[in-house]
Structure 1
Amino acid sequence: MRKTITAILLIFHLFALPNIVLAQCNEYTKKECIPQLTPYTFNGQLNNAVLSEGETAELQLTFYKDQEYRILVEGEDALGKIQFQLFDTDYNLLYDNADEGHTKLWDFMVESTDDFVIRILIPEDKQKAQIESGCVSILIGFRAFGSRTIFK
């Protein structure tokens, strides 16, 4: 009987824990990150994940002509400075926030509608004994007209 109860609890934790962590990440994104897109309009897609030091994640998105965009990549403090890069679909590097002091916001405009890849890199802190993990949010805001940087 005791083994059955232990097995049931173990199965519950295996299925419930990822949902609890994801729900906390969604709340972090809604409360801490979405307001930072102002004056841009949030596109409505919650792109977030729990990542650990040394991990990389990618997200492919379509950006449309005649829209100005703001990319926000925000992570919990335990993760340190997060690097993000923008590539075209052939993986030609178009932008790297490491060149601008690891800024978490970047505004740009595309010359024509196209797909792009955003790569997120979580730095590894070799000074720490334990690997940290935390929520990372990748949010997109948009508005019509104006530009900071234009890509063909």
Structure 2
Amino acid sequence: MKMTLKFIIYISLTILPLVSFSQCNEYTKKQCIPQLTPYTFNGQLNNAVLSEGETAELRLTFYKDQEYRILVKGEEDLGALEFQLFDTEYNLLYDNADEGYTNLWDFMVESTDDFVIRILVPEDKDKSKLESGCVSILIGFRAFGSRTIFK
């Protein structure tokens, strides 16, 4: 009996988080990466299983003379996610709450620099939604001026 209990605890602490992480990777690959088009995916899968009320941050370098697309997408039951872009001194540069909680933002930087992306998962006041789920933060890029212009 004691050995069975240890085995169950071992499985729940080691295997189950791996399964959840694997499902999050599949969600990111199938549901999120295609939304970066026409930008080129930078190849970094940035995702996590977050609970309502949690905040996550990701520090990234953006380079001069490139256009970028940030995509922040969570599983539908998480609701509208808020994401913000800060410089390294935490001066707010962008907040998607100002644009109706859009999950995409296209921009350019004037010079190569590091930035912080903060993701905030809303709390569900009436507890009718899923308490946690996969959140993906993806970056697409393209060289400035590489847009195809149709006449």
User: By the TM > 0.5 criterion, same fold?
Assistant: yes
Alignment of 1:67-146 (within 5 A): 67-128=66-127, 132-146=131-145
Deviation at 1:6, TM superposition (A): 1.9
Aligned residues: 146
AA aligned opposite 1:121: L
User: Are 2:68 and 1:63 aligned?
Assistant: no
1:107–1:129: structure 2 CA closer, same or farther, 3 Å change rule? closer
Q: Whole-Å Cα distance in 1 between the matches of residues 29 and 103 of structure 2? A: 16
Task: Give 1:131 shift.
Answer: 6.0
Q: Is the 8 A contact 2:78 2:129 kept in 1?
A: no
Residues 84 and 117, structure 2, Cα contact 8 Å, conserved in 1: yes
The Cα of 1:125 is off from its aligned counterpart by 1.3
Q: CA RMSD in A?
A: 1.4
Match of 1:38 in 2: 37
Q: Which stretches of structure 1, 4 residues or longer, exceed 6 Å deviation after superposition?
A: none
1:105-131 residue CA offsets vs partner (Å, 9 max, x unmatched): 000000100000000001111111676
Deviation at 1:9, TM superposition (A): 2.3
> CA separation in 2, counterparts of 1:130 and 1:101?
20
Distance 2:130 2:123 in 1: 8
Name stretches of at least 5 consecutive residues in structure 2 with no aligned partner: 147-151
| Closer/same/farther in 2, CA of residues 108 and 146 from structure 1, 3 Å limit | farther
Shift of the alpha carbon at 1:132? 1.1
State how far apart, in whole Å, the 2-side matches of 1:126 and 1:117 are. Answer: 28
TM-score by length of 2: 0.93
Distance between the aligned counterparts of 1:17 and 1:119, measured in 2? 27
Structure 1: how far apart are the matches of 2:141 and 2:128?
Answer: 41
